[in-house]
Amino acid sequence: MAELTYREAVARAIAQEMERDPSVVLLGEDVAGAGGAFKATGGLLERFGPERVRDTPISEQAILGAAMGAAMTGLRPIAEVMFSDFFAVCWDMVANQIAKSRYMTAGQVQLPLVVRSGNGGGSRFGAQHSQSVENWAMAVPGLKVVAPSCPSDVIGLLAAAVRDPDPVLVFEHKSLYPTKGEVPDGELVGHLGQAALRRQGGDLTLVALAAMVPVALEAAERLAAEGVQATVIDLRSLVPLDVSTVLSSVSATGHLVTVEENPRLCGWGAELASIVAEECFYDLDGPIVRVTTPHVPLPAADSLEDLARPSVARVLEAVPRALG
């Protein structure tokens, strides 16, 4: 068992898969010589060489176009889009080409590719570099979408994504890169579409993703001091979505609060709330409550950014409404 930072886990995951499979290649802006903008790919160029670890021009269209072509012709590329906000400049490639090619060719063309990206706020990058866009990707048929919350899941989910036959978008949260966690020794491979039960309680279900998982866990600890025991579910994967784990918990607790960093309108929690209301309405003992970022561009000022993003205090304010 080793303790790694979230960013170190990214490099370990990529190295694990490149060591295992010579068809795995890495490409993106500054991923080679500089070790990545967030220093998450350090040492890979020295270990695997410039043929397999390649710096690209500053062009997201070029990065994903090259990755798509590589995947169509037998490689398993890992492409980096430095900030998830930059999906906006290559969204046609993602949503109309990568997501649909396998379907449109009746399976004759497979696209086993991974797109990694730094996602989310809390790092003071301003409105154009701090968005949580996982709900953009969730809305596109043909894409798988994951967002790890801890170093062990970074490795497990990234490895599972590389081995998957379909395109997978991996949203690495920028504010989590320096955080640490224990990681088992040896090869580590997770499962796409499997949520994790981070805490067990009988009074309330809190569902969170990525950087909101630590927020939910801290809120649950404070609730416990007040006599309210909360289950905390880390979704980990939005597509596939582990509905059964959430439904099972909500059926037991009767109450659901989602903690989402994406803007409120059309966030992933809205879809989850819809499913819960449809599938286990009569098990609910109170309203489903969503704690989200408001539907505004994320402010650059420290205090305003902190105010906009979900916090422990906002979760604690939401719980009494859910409990009725």
Catalytic residues, which ones?
129
Strand partners, 77: 25
Per-residue DSSP letter, 202: S
Distance CA 154, CA 8 (A): 9
CA-based nearest residue to 41, from 56, 52, 30, 57: 30
Q: Fill in the DSSP letter of residue 241.
A: T
Round to whole Å and give the CA distance between 169 and 171.
6
- In three state form, how does the secondary structure of 112-162 look? CCEEEEEECCCCCCCCCCCCCCHHHHHCCCCCEEECCCCHHHHHHHHHHHH
Supply 229's token pair: 């025991």
Instruction: Tell me 85's DSSP state.
Output: G
Length of the chain: 324
- Coil vs helix vs strand at 21: coil
Both tokens of residue 233?
A: 């579910």
C-alpha closest to that of 143 among 82, 71, 95 = 95
For the beta carbon of residue 108, count every other beta carbon within 10 angstroms. 8
What distance in Å separates the CA atoms of residue 308 and residue 174, rounded to the nearest whole number? 17
